[in-house]
Amino acid sequence: MRKIDSINEVVGLVSEIKAQGKTIGLVPTMGALHIGHLSLIEKARKENDIIICSVFVNPIQFNNQEDLDKYPRDIEKDCLLLEDAGCDYVFSPSAEEVYAEKPTETFNFGALETVMEGKMRPGHFNGVATIVSRLFNWINPTRAYFGEKDFQQLAIIKDMVRQLNSPVEIVPCPIVRESDGLAMSSRNMRLSEEKRAIASKINSILKKSVSMKENISLSQIKSFVKNEFSLLKDFELEYFELVDDATLQPVNQKGENGVVGCVAVWLGGVRLIDVIRYY
């Protein structure tokens, strides 16, 4: 496996790969890799000739400077994990090179970005779309792989591809969970031992609410989940929404599309998100 830090170098490499008629699978990450990330590499490995994983903590998608400063970074460990997983290239540019000039990209995702993460983190998705569109431009992947835990982000990226008329195929990948049900996240390592021991309650509450869906309304499910979190003093619920899985708009009853529940909570100063499907 080879590590590349320069944009020019990765563009040159991609040109050589494309000239050979090979397909490229891209796995964009912010590092601090875990088994969830490696499952994306595994899927990409099965579907492409060459695998490139980007490791870049994107400063312009953070609304909170403290969150950016505390975001875990360990590129050496990441590279070891990626090499074992069969990745071919790691692209890890510096923020100074990526944003040598102030970014000017402006995206409009309409209603997709006015709810949940977009509502709570203004400008976040413009930052995400900026770096992902640049990665697609530099690496020109055949396919790009994203986890479904970031359900709204996945919808945003699909819409970005549509807007840009990009040929990149977006491949959603299932959430990977710890043995106790907690969705794997780089932020989990920031939890204290005490908080980590109770973090699985997020998924437990969601699963319990899904088991009730045939007996109560979606509005009652929403009230149930909010009440359950209110009873846990360690958790601060930021939002819980039941949304149409295509439009991401809140729903009170099942329609033509599926229904997913999206949650964001604070636990011990760490922000955690999860997603579960109802229909």
Task: Say how many residues make up the chain.
Answer: 279
Which two three-digit tokens encode residue 256? 């033509």
Looking at residue 8, the DSSP 8-state letter turns out to be H
Q: How far is residue 206 from each of residues 76, 121, 249, 272, measured CA to CA in Å? A: 35, 23, 19, 14
Q: SS3 of 238, please? A: strand
State how far the Cα of 172 lies from the Cα of 27, in Å rounded to an integer: 11
User: Active site includes 37?
Assistant: yes
Query: Cβ contacts of residue 77 below 8 Å, gap of 6+?
Result: 33
Looking at residue 250, the DSSP 8-state letter turns out to be B
Could you write out the three-class secondary structure of 157-208? HHHHHHHHCCCCEEEEECCCECCCCCECCHHHHHCCHHHHHHCCHHHHHHHH
Which two three-digit tokens encode residue 134? 């640049």
Instruction: Identify the active-site residue in 37, 134, 149, 196.
Output: 37
Which two three-digit tokens encode residue 135? 């990665």
- Backbone conformation region of residue 86, classed left if phi is above 0, alpha if psi is from -120 to 50, else beta: left
Q: Catalytic amino acids? A: 37
